[in-house]
Amino acid sequence: MASVIELTNVTKQFGDVTALRNVDLAVEEGEVFGFLGPNGAGKSTTIDMLLDFVRPTAGEIRVLGMDPQADSVTLRRRVGILPDGYDIYDRLTGRQHVQFAIDSKGGDDDPIELLERVGIADAADRKAGGYSKGMTQRLVLAMALAGEPDLLVLDEPTTGLDPAGAREMREIIREEVARGATVFFSSHILEQVEAVCDRVAILNRGELVAVDTIDNLRASMGDGATLTVTVDAEPTTETLDAIEALPGINSVGVAGTTITVHCASSAKTAVLDAIEASGLGVSDFATERTSLEDLFLRYTGDADGPTVGADDTTDDPAADAAMEVER
């Protein structure tokens, strides 16, 4: 079966700004796929292209085997989206919003059940204009779930949610995948991504810098751990050289009687053995796993672009109108 999302050599330019450059990406059926990147990396732009809210400058996009431009009406019935910026109708109730989404998807869900899933059934008959930020986010999620979509696309889904809400969001993602859906979601919060994703793509300044499982990304960095060893005398150059010569060692540093080694997790025992073999006694040691934060920064440098939300209008009035309906 073809990939659920397939980008081939996609480039998007907004005037002088290249939001995406030659991106190739394939998301397979049944995956929970995390899309990571710092502010301004191009995540929302990519998501907006999946349903033709934004059009690529070059390259090909296929979603559920369809062309977002040619098949946008059919596609929008089969994809649930929680966009980065969304409009709600202040004077309509939560229930009316969800019913509207169900109708536009041709679904037969019970709106109250959907509102229950996202935890705001109590407020079903209140006007959405009076909802808090987190409640609004939950409402838009309920709308995305309408009609049992084959693909769920979530742009920063936990924005505005409290910790319980973030956990519920993860549960919903798991339920949707268990039902047979594919989930694609963007985030810059790595812990959330790690908790639910099968694979991730890391985008930086419009380019894909990695696509893999988080475990593999960790392993491929080769510096899975930092080992800090306190020894009973100042180590000699020979000792440090012996450590450095071991497989899986990235760097060795020393300050007085403390040796700091960045290495693959599997190299830790060999480091301790080498220190003892050199005649030094180990009085203490500690190891620390490379944090997700380190991993992320390693791939994206300190490239903190400006925080600019995507202007999600297209240059096609029909598509803009369809987008309004979708929301």
Ligand X SMILES: Nc1ncnc2c1ncn2[C@@H]1O[C@H](COP(=O)(O)OP(=O)(O)OP(=O)(O)O)[C@@H](O)[C@H]1O
Interacting residues with ligand X (CB under 6 A): 14, 17, 19, 37, 39-45, 188, 305, 307-311
Per the CB < 8 A criterion, the answer to whether 49 and 55 are in contact is yes
Per the CB < 8 A criterion, the answer to whether 223 and 59 are in contact is no
Cβ-based nearer residue to ligand X, 44 or 192: 44
Cβ-based nearer residue to ligand X, 43 or 95: 43
Least distance between ligand X and beta carbon 324 (Å) = 17
Cβ-based nearer residue to ligand X, 40 or 165: 40
CA distance 301 to 21: 18
CA distance 117 to 179: 14
Cβ-based nearer residue to ligand X, 187 or 239: 187
Strands 182-187 and 32-36: parallel
Mapping DSSP to helix (H, G, I), strand (E, B) and coil, where does residue 274 land?
helix
Least distance between ligand X and beta carbon 308 (Å) = 4
Least distance between ligand X and beta carbon 178 (Å) = 28
Q: Which of 131, 204, 132, 193 is nearest to 158 (CA)?
A: 193
Least distance between ligand X and beta carbon 82 (Å) = 13
Cβ-based nearer residue to ligand X, 37 or 119: 37
Least distance between ligand X and beta carbon 175 (Å) = 26
Beta strands in the chain (DSSP E): 5-14, 17-27, 32-36, 58-63, 79-82, 151-155, 182-187, 199-204, 207-212, 225-231, 249-255, 258-263, 282-289
Mapping DSSP to helix (H, G, I), strand (E, B) and coil, where does residue 154 land?
strand
Per the CB < 8 A criterion, the answer to whether 221 and 298 are in contact is yes
Mapping DSSP to helix (H, G, I), strand (E, B) and coil, where does residue 259 land?
strand
Cβ-based nearer residue to ligand X, 83 or 94: 83
Least distance between ligand X and beta carbon 246 (Å) = 39
Least distance between ligand X and beta carbon 85 (Å) = 10
Cβ-based nearer residue to ligand X, 19 or 142: 19
